[in-house]
Amino acid sequence: MRHITVAHNFEEVRVTMFAIEMRVDRALLPLVLVLVLACAGKQVTKPAPAKAPTVKKTTVAKKAPLPPMLAPWTGPHGGVPPFDKVDDKRFEADFDVAFKLLLADVAKIANNPEPATFDNTLVALERAGKPLDRIGTLFFTMASSVNTPAIQKLSRVIRPKLSTTYDSIYFDAKLFARIAKVHAARDKGLNAEQKRLVEKAYDKFVQRGAKLTGDDKKRLGAINKRLATLFTDFANRVQADEDTWVVLAEKDLGGLSPALVSVYKAAAEKRKVAGYAVVNTRSAVAPFLTFSDNRKLREKVWRAFVNRGDGPEGKGGGNNDTNAIIAEIVKLRAERAKLLGYASHAHWRMANTMAKDPARAQSLMMRVWPAAVARVKEEVADMRKMARKLKARHKIEPWDYRYYMEKVRKARYDLDQNEFKAYFELENMIKASYYLAERLYGYAFKEITGRVKTFHPDVRVYHVTNKADGSHVGIFYRDDFARQYKRSGAWQATYRGQHKIDGQVDAVVSNNNNFAKSAPGSKTLISLDDAETLFHEFGHALHALANDTTYPTLRDTPRDFVEFPSQVHENWVLSREVLDKFARHYKTGKKMPQALIDKVRRARTFNMGFSTVEYLAAALVDMKLHTDPAGVIEADKYERDALKAIGMPREIVMRHRLPHFMHLFATDAYSAGYYSYLWSDVMAADAWGAFEETGDVWHAATAKKFKDIILATGDAIDRAEAYRMFRGRDPKVEALLKNRGFPTKK
């Protein structure tokens, strides 16, 4: 399951620092995430001149050219982000200009003497604030991908100002009165897409406090401003803990493949330390825990990783302790929900999701949880047998799970992950993803790196076209490697989203991964899980590129839908054509042998207990935490008690412990929403069945239907109805259970 980031309303996306799209294991996401969400701003083309005769040409925006970071992007097809114009010293002042320009746009709408109409109110709002969109794209790209101490410091200033600015818009009584008038008359003269825009805008304003009065509005604004600061502090502390490493000596390399040793050597050289370095990020830690024969070092690396944000010993303390921040965030969220008239933060966050109510999400999770726990017990029993066979007398601890799991896999399926990894060279898998886009949707990707400015030398850029006629589709950036000051995980971001409000504007999107970079001159090999992550994030990019809605707001799909399209695209990694064409041995260039493919497919449901439990435990704790109306917690104790209550196996920890749970505490975006990966995965498993049932997973008519109904429509159509239009019925949870090898009967 991947945690992705998909386009959502500008103020939420920017405040969430591109809603960090973190990923979960493939087991959970045949599913992906800023948070994060693929983040998207409402970039639009130049609007028509204002009609009101009182508007003079000598406004602030026209007296002098806009600062470079606020100015319209240059170049063909609407231009691209001017990363070469980024200036840390100018951000704060330029944001202040952008805030003023946005508020001036909104004031014109709110004070328009003409009666409120769809065009002069809702469409005008869609056009407002373009300079803020542009500088927001630049700043929050830096905050997620090059988050230097200078950017971290700026985030503590800019994010509260952003929160305050948007609250002033949501709290504007005149503006809301105009929206309410259009909403009341929405059944008269509007088409279906226009009516949906009105309803979404009205609901959003109400949900953000437009109906509150006096002191309640003031208090809500103070809460939002404080949360913006806390989110930044939380994220920066976790990032600081991830920018650490465990040093290995030559004697500590037992069990590690030459390719993995090369990665750790490169990491040490980059950090100017002797020996080898296991950096405290998942892409480095997970393979070490899987293959290292040194149990003491496995424990040391594991403890450093799971205790991020929780002090060196997992008991709090230190400069990067996040426990007090978590307690304050949860308390403020509970207070905010009460102010807005909701039973809990979860009820507030889920009001505009497919699930609607926490009970429905809880029901789905508990449908899967018992089967997953039962499978873990079977897995642990198998590992105990393997440990005894290897003359080990210790219990299976969390730092042992991946190690013995791999031993069992090798014995049961004669499948060595290192053998398989030799066929998954990163560059070939990138080409495979572009092949997928061509076969399914007719897209072509031509690299234009060097012709477009980027924020880091690792970033590559592609022009996306329709292969049939060469027509423009969009621009695609990719940033694949982990590095200092880059946030962990994987995510998709939308630098500019598609819309047609003033003519066709096409998407500019990015994929951001954290693969461990090989030493210079060596090829980067990735695991099957990494390859599925790559396809997952690429699925988010395809979703943004295929979008075909008129209004920017209608790109924004519910949180528990956004992972669905990306999860579906993971399935093509192991399709026969992709393997035959692109899974070539990195040394010999030979195709993957059929015998190895058969082994991988037989092992597809292996270890599903572990991956499902570590994810679901985090999702269940998230939901329990945010359905509590009081919101008074001590993070470590709450986590322990909640896990005990659901029967968490002792051999596993949550995929994201609370002290570093970025989805929940670096933003509001995934709070009370971590369940969404499972919700989306139900649809993904069921939708993949639509392709399989044709007998051809590249079936052209099914791909076209998926693109036209699921990808292109954004949220212009209710997502549940869109799924029924695609599949002919609602999704069935049995498809997910079957994919994971779990019993399908209750």
Catalytic residues: 537
The span from the CA of 549 to the CA of 546, in Å, is 10
Contact 349, 618 (CB under 8 A): no
Helices and strands in the chain: count of H runs, count of E runs? 29, 8
Residue of 157, 137, 156 lying closest to 145 (CA atoms): 137
CA–CA distance, 659 with 665 (Å, rounded to integer): 9
Strand, coil or helix: what is 607? coil
The tokens for 676 are 């969404």
How many Å apart are CA 19 and CA 6, to the nearest integer? 8
Q: Determine how many CB atoms are found less than 10 A away from the CB of residue 649.
A: 21
DSSP state of 121: I
Dist CA 79 CA 243 (whole Å) = 35
* Element (DSSP H or E) covering residue 535: helix 528-546
Q: Which two tokens stand for residue 140?
A: 């929050």
Alpha helices per DSSP H over 213-357: 214-242, 258-270, 282-291, 295-306, 323-339, 345-349
* Contact present, 612 and 28 (Cβ < 8 Å): yes
Report the C-alpha dihedral over residues 397, 398, 404, 408, rounded to 10 degrees: 110
First-to-last CA distance in the chain?
23
- Distances, alpha carbon 535 to alpha carbons 26, 120, 497, in Å: 11, 41, 20
Backbone angles phi, psi at 512, to 5 degrees: -135, 115
DSSP code for 501: B
Q: Residue 691 to residues 143, 533, 685: CA-CA distances in angstroms?
A: 39, 20, 10
Burial of 446 (0-12, 13-18, 19+ CB in 10 A): exposed
**In the block, which residue shows the tokens 């302790």?**
321
Instruction: Scan for tokens 């101490």, then name that residue.
Output: 149
Nearest in space to 439 (alpha carbons), one of 697, 698, 694: 698
User: Interhelix angle for 149-170 vs 130-145, to 10°?
Assistant: 140
Largest CA distance in the chain: 87
User: CA geometry: angle at 590 spanning 587 and 596, to 5°?
Assistant: 105
Residue 500: Cβ-neighbour burial (10 angstroms; 0-12, 13-18, 19+): middle
CA dihedral 452, 453, 457, 458 (to 10 degrees): -60
Sign for the CA dihedral angle at 591, 595, 600, 604 comes to: positive
Burial 719-729 (b: 16+ CB within 10 A, else e): beebbeebbee
Tell me the one-letter amino acid at 429: M
The enclosing H or E element of 477 equals strand 472-481
Strands (E), 66-155: none
- How many angstroms separate the CA atoms of 689 and 117, rounded? 45
CB contact at 8 A, 160 and 225:
yes
100 neighbors 66 (Cβ within 8 angstroms): no
Residue (of 724, 731, 632) closest to 681 by Cα position:
731
